[in-house]
Amino acid sequence: MTTGADNLEIRKSSTRFWLIVVGLLLLAQIVTLLAMGRVPICECGYIKLFEPGVNTSGNSQHIADWYTPSHIIHGFLFYLLGWAVLRRSSFGARLTLAVIIEAAWEILENSPIIIDRYRSATMAVGYSGDSVLNSAMDTVAMILGFFFAARAPVWLTVVIAIAFELFTGWLIRDNLTLNVLMLVWPVDAVREWQAG
């Protein structure tokens, strides 16, 4: 028979295990991106907390940018996915699934085929891919979104996702919805609107 103290120790051990798994996945993402020849940090030689420019050489190169809210929304969506398909699994298993998906996307996003697709189909004409730092921080932003969705009421998570989409759509004429639309099925009217 297990006691409350035993159960607490099991939970701590399980939490440690999943944190190690998530850390190793993030490390694998970083190593893969470096092996692909991605730059570790911005070629400018310094690191900024936030890059305010969208069509600048610093975009997708620093810790955060206007696309960080999109990655937080990924966390919201991946939490929903984990809840739907791994309902009986632990929080750690669901988080691991989310990190696998996000890391795989970050690696694919920084491959020549997707970089070229962004250049040809979206407003990101000069896009050259993410720095490894930015890519890793995108995954961290997703993890933060995942944790938020796990703790917050559903209505609040939905309101924040909509607010992020509306705010970035208004401010930079791009957001997660438009990014996916333009990557998958480019619309000339949207491209013209985004160009300003």
Could you write out the three-class secondary structure of the chain? CCCHHHHHHHHHHHHHHHHHHHHHHHHHHHHHHHHCCCCCCCCCCCCCCECCCCCCCCCCCCCECCCHHHHHHHHHHHHHHHHHHCCCCCHHHHHHHHHHHHHHHHHHHCCHHHHHHHHHHCCCCCCCCCCHHHHHHHHHHHHHHHHHHHHCCHHHHHHHHHHHHHHHHHHHCCCHHHHHHHHHCCCHHHHHHHHC
Q: Does residue 32 surpass a pLDDT of 80?
A: yes
CA atoms of 63 and 58, how far apart (whole Å)? 10
| Of 13 and 187, more confident | 187
Give 124-182 pLDDT, tens digit per residue. 777 899 999 999 999 999 999 999 999 999 999 999 999 999 999 999 999 999 999 99
Percentage of the chain with pLDDT > 70? 93
Of residues 108, 124, 157, the one with CA closest to residue 56:
124
Mean pLDDT of the chain: 93
pLDDT value of residue 9: 58
pLDDT value of residue 168: 98
pLDDT band at 115 (very low <50, low <70, confident <90, very high): very high
State the average pLDDT over residues 18-24.
97
| 7: its two tokens | 């159960």
